Amino acid sequence: MHINLAKPFFGLFLLMVASSGVFAQTGRFQQAANYQMDVDMDVNTNQYSGTQVLIYTNNSPDTLDRVFYHLYYNAFQPGSMMDERSRSIADPDRRVGDRISKLKPDEIGYLRVRDLKMNGKDVEFSEVGTILEVELAEPILPNSKAKFEMSFTGQVPIQIRRSGRDSEEGVRYSMSQWYPKMSEYDEQGWHANPYIGREFYGIWGDFDVKITIDKTYVLGGTGYLQNPNEIGHGYEDKGVKVPQVKGEKLTWHFKAPHVHDFMWAADPKYRHDKFLMENGVTVHHLYIPTDGVTENWVKLMDYTPKAIEFMSKHFGQYPYKQFSVIQGGDGGMEYPMATLVTGGRNLNGLVGVMAHELAHSWYQGVLATNEALYPWMDEGFASYASALTMSAIYKASEAPLTGSYSGYYRLVKSGKEEPMSTHSDHYDTNGAYSSAAYSKGAVFMAQMGYIIGEEARDKGILSYWNTWGFKHPNVNDFIRIMEKESGLELDWYKEYFVYTTKTIDYAVKKMTPQGDQTDITLERIGLMPMPIDLVITYKDGTSEMVYLPLEIMRGDKAAEAGAPTRVISEDWPWTNLTKTIRINKKSDMVKSIEIDPSKRLADIDQNNNKLEF
């Protein structure tokens, strides 16, 4: 398989890492949290104990008197906030429902911090659900470091949501959100959100993790294995004879540079396949070989490298040396350098979920917008990227974003839409959250191509990656990138499409003969204004586009390749509900008048978009 990337990804990675801390380019500080952990797992009790040394760097201008850790596994206990929310919401996640409320003591999850010191001094801490609140013995000053040392114990819950043990497919351990994780502190302050069931936000750092477990288990996940020739299981160098393990356990040693989380999975039945791409990225697949799984997972190895290649070309160079697709979890879930996906799928479904979770490596793993506040900037952008990737891999003829537009239209018709600015945990329904985050978020990106032109949008996507990689961008940062790329003012698009539920609905109202000329009247029915591409087709087979920019855009998008000859009309002020244009053709020469034949405009009623004669 030939893989050819435009630039060496290692150089980009070093450039991004070198820019961490306080950013002169963006004015945005980033905290750092470097972890060293040693963990011992008992596969008989499903309990583990560990130690953690955390070097925390306060790159903010603020003095910190408190810190917070996430204790995610505490969500899997009867009476937890996740349990209560799952039993009270109108449309509970079928994977959760009331299952947490029925867990027995040996089935629950927990994380318990036994002791915690800062710079060698004991600190006061209290466990409040899924958050550990820590009162510091001394403040952490701006631009200084603190050393936290702790011991902790945990119990792996029955597989319910994302992480856990003994899944329906028989995977023993999906170890995500398994360790005490320092909360993020940014320009908006602390983000010590309880784990209700949505997304994550974390600090970049280097992870050095040793996992001691029964020697029959095969592991995979975040990080580069440091002792492959002692471990074996397909990780060893070619030609190396792996020594026989003395004792019952084996210690796996991983290091992961500049990631915001660390996931691992383990099962004694895992088969491990790997493939080295020409760009130096190693693709790992770990799965349980069965009649319904093996064939498709073997075929998947033809697709994962292709997806990495396509995304690296169109969305930014993938900055790590490996990516692992691992059977586990409860569906598909992204983590740095890896994803957990359920394995019993047909090939197309397996490729699709791989591509979507891989796309998160860009938008959740490296750009890493705060998913709790802006879930659509991760899920929606990943949906957009994976749809284009799947279309390219399969050479599909159908428009790749058709499903996303349909999902958004269904949301509007449901009457349950909420603004995309809603915090992910606070949507009234799971359905409204999913449709907004995934479908409307993808439409936001696709429709940006309609507003500023696809060439400018695509250049902006790469500029967004190069400017904001490892810096936690927000919606304003993205909009400014697109403004700089296009030369247009776009704050109105953000304000309408993100912060409101106002919809787009334009109509071709009428055509009026005017001697040798013709007047065409358009009407804005919806509350959200948009620029209009109006294509007029004549009975002689020719066509032309009349482009009506919004006045508040302060400019015009560039003409797009493949579009009809374009005539630029005067701006359409958003206050005006109708707009009449005059063309220099007789009305009896007109065959049809249509708003946006490309269907990129998210017009909720397209029945009034076209007049035919």
Pairs from 85-88 (Cβ < 8 Å, separation ≥ 24): 85/196, 85/197, 85/425, 86/197
Predicted confidence band of residue 1 (pLDDT cuts 50, 70, 90): very low
Instruction: For residues 140 and 137, give the distance between their C-alpha atoms in angstroms, rounded to a whole number.
Output: 10
Q: What is the pLDDT of residue 17?
A: 47
Nearest to 441 by CA among 420, 466, 467: 420
Structure tokens that stand for 372 in this block: 């709790």
pLDDT at 328 over 50: yes
To 10 degrees, the CA torsion angle through 80, 84, 89, 91?
Answer: 70
pLDDT at 345 over 80: yes
Mean pLDDT of 543-562: 96
Nearest to 198 by CA among 364, 47, 323: 364
Higher pLDDT, 73 or 13: 73
* 119 and 144 Cβ atoms separated by less than 8 Å: no
Mean pLDDT of 78-105: 97
> How many other CB atoms sit within 10 Å of the CB of residue 7?
10
Q: Give all strands of the β-sheet with 578-583 in edge-to-edge order.
A: 506-514, 517-524, 578-583
Q: What is the pLDDT of residue 16?
A: 46
pLDDT at 2 over 80: no
- Per-residue pLDDT tens over the stretch 98-153: 999 999 999 999 999 999 999 999 999 999 999 999 999 999 999 999 999 999 99
Nearest to 478 by CA among 403, 370, 559: 370
Which whole-number Å values give the CA distances from 116 to 123, 154, 178, 245, 525, in the listed order?
6, 15, 17, 34, 61
Predicted confidence band of residue 20 (pLDDT cuts 50, 70, 90): very low
- Per-residue pLDDT tens over the stretch 34-66: 999 999 999 999 999 999 999 999 999 999 999
Q: What is the pLDDT of residue 26?
A: 56
- DSSP annotation string for 13-36: HHHHHHT-SB-TTT--B--EEEEE
pLDDT at 238 over 50: yes
Which whole-number Å values give the CA distances from 589 to 403, 540, 548, 594, in the listed order?
36, 8, 22, 15
- Per-residue pLDDT tens over the stretch 454-506: 999 999 999 999 999 999 999 999 999 999 999 999 999 999 999 999 999 99
Predicted confidence band of residue 398 (pLDDT cuts 50, 70, 90): confident
pLDDT at 12 over 80: no
pLDDT above 90: percentage of residues in the chain: 94
Predicted confidence band of residue 199 (pLDDT cuts 50, 70, 90): confident
Q: What is the pLDDT of residue 11?
A: 46
Q: What is the pLDDT of residue 128?
A: 98
* 380 and 363 Cβ atoms separated by less than 8 Å: no
Nearest to 244 by CA among 232, 252, 235: 232
Higher pLDDT, 27 or 510: 510
Mean pLDDT of 263-281: 97
Instruction: For residues 437 and 442, give the distance between their C-alpha atoms in angstroms, rounded to a whole number.
Output: 8
Predicted confidence band of residue 27 (pLDDT cuts 50, 70, 90): low
Is 146 strand, coil or helix? strand
Q: Is 380 exposed, middle or buried (0-12, 13-18, 19+ CB in 10 A)?
A: buried
pLDDT above 70: percentage of residues in the chain: 96
Instruction: For residues 447 and 602, give the distance between their C-alpha atoms in angstroms, rounded to a whole number.
Output: 7
Instruction: Report the chain's mean pLDDT, rounded to a whole number.
Output: 95
> How many other CB atoms sit within 10 Å of the CB of residue 171?
26
* 364 and 313 Cβ atoms separated by less than 8 Å: no
259 pairs with which residues across the strands? 205
Cβ-proximal residues to 348 (8 Å cutoff; 6+ apart), any chain? none
Mean pLDDT of 583-611: 97
Higher pLDDT, 26 or 194: 194
